[in-house]
């Protein structure tokens, strides 16, 4: 079997470890051969690819980014499925393993269901917002980076008796904010799933100040503050028309200073959360998901994706995984609030 591998959408730590897991398992256990497809669906549509051996994936476990490159090209652009069939036939490719998040896997699921293409999925996103899997690789690394940033900002906040407002990624869910905020001892965590009034923010911040602490507020980029009807997005849209979130910390910091009288500063972590080496957890999870994807391709389980359930790697339907965003449940929000203020 000859298998094409692509990475699509936003980059994150662990992508290279997945590629390594796929290629090593596929060659050693299934006698498969592999084609690396550059820049996601673009490479498949434009015939930009190369033969990939075990030598090409040597030493990739701890390397950030993706050796294949990535893009947000839509699979139905530039000739769409018909063009994909032509390119796959020209290279003798029997199947595709698509590594990506909600957009990538939604496109892959549609290509399987409507076009009959042979595709396996691997769930990737730092946001941890995909259904069908307990965790996505990249999330642990992102929350670890955010936690370290909180730890570092706390020392300067305490030195100057300031409130620090730290903005993390996550788009429309608050998983990174929740986990990094809890790990970093934040005095308030603000997430898109749960509206919070300025009165409540003031109470948490002043309570921390009154106990002699420098208040730490962690906010997810998709949080909508009181008085606004939509998310703060001061960076326009990308070339696909998708809103570039970011700037909520810059919006909140002066508001918090105004209502509490505490000098406040904003820090936006941004793409720092996507870069660098993956954590040990993400390296292991990525490798296991990659090996499982190679098995799914060998078994011709098209339309499936490798998934983490508890500690086991299983397969689930891609279509069910992208039905809806996996939001932070109310139970986790209620659990965290006892730590605030």
- pLDDT higher than 80, residue 242: no
Annotated binding-site residue? 24: no
Catalytic positions are 127
| 132 in the same domain as 6 | yes
Annotated binding-site residue? 10: yes
Whether 215 is in a domain gets the answer yes
R_g of the chain computed on alpha carbons: 21
Domain termination residue (choose one: 214, 246, 275):
275
Domain termination residue (choose one: 214, 243, 275):
275
Annotated binding-site residue? 56: no
* Contact between residue 22 and residue 113 where contact means Cβ atoms under 8 Å apart: no
Contacts of 229 (CB under 8 A, 6+ apart): none
- pLDDT higher than 90, residue 78: no
- pLDDT higher than 90, residue 337: yes
| 213 in the same domain as 300 | no
Quick one: CA torsion of 172, 175, 181, 187, rounded to 10 degrees?
60
| 196 in the same domain as 95 | no
The SS3 call for residue 44 is: helix
| % of the chain beyond a pLDDT of 70 | 97
Whether 337 is in a domain gets the answer no
| 303 in the same domain as 244 | no
Q: Residue 232: give the domain boundaries.
A: 140-275
- State pLDDT tens for residues 222-231: 999 888 888 8
User: Band of the pLDDT at 240, cuts 50, 70, 90?
Assistant: low
Whether 153 is in a domain gets the answer yes
Whether 341 is in a domain gets the answer no
| 246 in the same domain as 194 | yes
- State pLDDT tens for residues 20-59: 999 999 999 999 999 999 999 999 999 999 999 999 999 9
Average pLDDT value for the chain: 95
Annotated binding-site residue? 21: no
* Contact between residue 160 and residue 207 where contact means Cβ atoms under 8 Å apart: no
| 150 in the same domain as 194 | yes
| 284 in the same domain as 212 | no
Annotated binding-site residue? 133: no
Residue 127: CA count within 13 A, CB half-sphere: 25
- State pLDDT tens for residues 96-111: 999 999 999 999 999 9
Report the length, in residues, of the chain. 341
| 149 in the same domain as 130 | no
User: How many Cβ atoms sit within 10 Å of the Cβ of residue 256?
Assistant: 25
- pLDDT higher than 90, residue 246: no
Annotated binding-site residue? 265: yes
- State pLDDT tens for residues 129-139: 999 999 999 99
User: Band of the pLDDT at 241, cuts 50, 70, 90?
Assistant: low
- State pLDDT tens for residues 301-333: 999 999 999 999 999 999 999 888 999 999 999
- pLDDT higher than 80, residue 238: no
Query: Rounded distance, CA 298 to CA 296, Å?
Result: 5
Structure tokens belonging to residue 272 = 């720092």
Residue 328 DSSP one-character state = P
* Contact between residue 79 and residue 47 where contact means Cβ atoms under 8 Å apart: no
User: Band of the pLDDT at 249, cuts 50, 70, 90?
Assistant: very high
pLDDT of 239: 65
Report the CATH number at residue 218: 3.40.50.460
pTM score of the predicted model: 0.94
Determine the average pLDDT of the residues in 233-262.
85
3-state helix, strand, coil split of the chain in percent (to 5) is 40, 20, 40
- State pLDDT tens for residues 176-225: 999 999 999 999 999 999 999 999 999 999 999 999 999 999 999 999 98
Annotated binding-site residue? 221: yes
Query: Rounded distance, CA 208 to CA 231, Å?
Result: 27
- The residue whose two tokens read 């549609």 is 110
Query: Rounded distance, CA 219 to CA 292, Å?
Result: 35
Annotated binding-site residue? 216: no
User: Band of the pLDDT at 232, cuts 50, 70, 90?
Assistant: confident
| CA proximity to 62, closest of 15, 24, 22 | 15
pLDDT of 230: 84
Query: Rounded distance, CA 155 to CA 196, Å?
Result: 27
Structure tokens belonging to residue 170 = 């996550």
Query: Rounded distance, CA 176 to CA 143, Å?
Result: 5
The SS3 call for residue 142 is: helix
How many structural domains does the chain have?
2
Phi, psi of 193 (to 5 degrees): -70, -25
Annotated binding-site residue? 274: yes
Contacts of 7 (CB under 8 A, 6+ apart): 15, 19, 40, 66, 68, 69, 70, 99, 100, 124
Report the CATH number at residue 16: 3.40.50.450
């Amino acid at each position: 079997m000859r298998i094409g591998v692509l990475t699509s959408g936003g980059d994150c730590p662990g992508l290279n470890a997945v590629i390594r897991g796929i290629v090593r398992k596929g060659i050693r256990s299934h006698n498969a051969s592999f084609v690396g497809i550059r820049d996601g669906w673009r490479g498949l549509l434009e015939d930009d690819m190369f033969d990939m051996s075990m030598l090409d994936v040597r030493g990739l476990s701890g390397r950030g980014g993706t050796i294949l490159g990535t893009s947000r090209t839509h699979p139905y652009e530039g000739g769409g499925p018909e063009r994909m069939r032509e390119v796959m036939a020209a290279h003798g490719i029997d199947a595709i393993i698509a590594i990506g998040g909600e957009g990538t896997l939604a496109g892959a699921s549609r290509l399987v269901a409507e076009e009959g293409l042979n595709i396996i999925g691997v769930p990737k996103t730092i946001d941890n917002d995909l259904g069908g899997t307990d965790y996505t690789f990249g999330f642990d690394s992102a929350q670890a980076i955010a936690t370290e940033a909180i730890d570092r900002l706390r020392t300067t906040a305490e030195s100057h008796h300031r409130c620090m407002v730290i903005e993390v990624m996550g788009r429309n869910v608050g998983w990174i904010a929740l986990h990094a905020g809890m790990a970093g001892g934040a005095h308030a965590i603000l997430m898109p799933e749960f509206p919070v009034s300025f009165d409540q923010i003031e109470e948490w911040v002043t309570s921390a100040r009154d106990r002699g602490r420098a208040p730490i507020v962690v906010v997810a980029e998709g949080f909508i503050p009181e008085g606004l009807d939509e998310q703060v997005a001061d960076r326009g849209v990308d070339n696909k028309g998708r809103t570039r979130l970011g700037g909520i910390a810059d919006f909140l910091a002066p508001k918090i200073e105004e209502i509490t009288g505490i000098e406040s500063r904003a820090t936006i972590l941004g793409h720092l959360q996507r870069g660098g080496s993956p954590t040990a957890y993400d390296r292991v999870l990525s490798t296991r998901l990659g090996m499982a994807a190679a098995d799914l391709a060998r078994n011709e389980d098209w339309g499936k994706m490798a998934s983490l359930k508890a500690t086991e790697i299983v397969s689930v339907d891609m279509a069910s995984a992208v039905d809806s965003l996996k939001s932070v449940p109310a139970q986790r929000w209620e659990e965290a609030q006892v730590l605030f203020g």
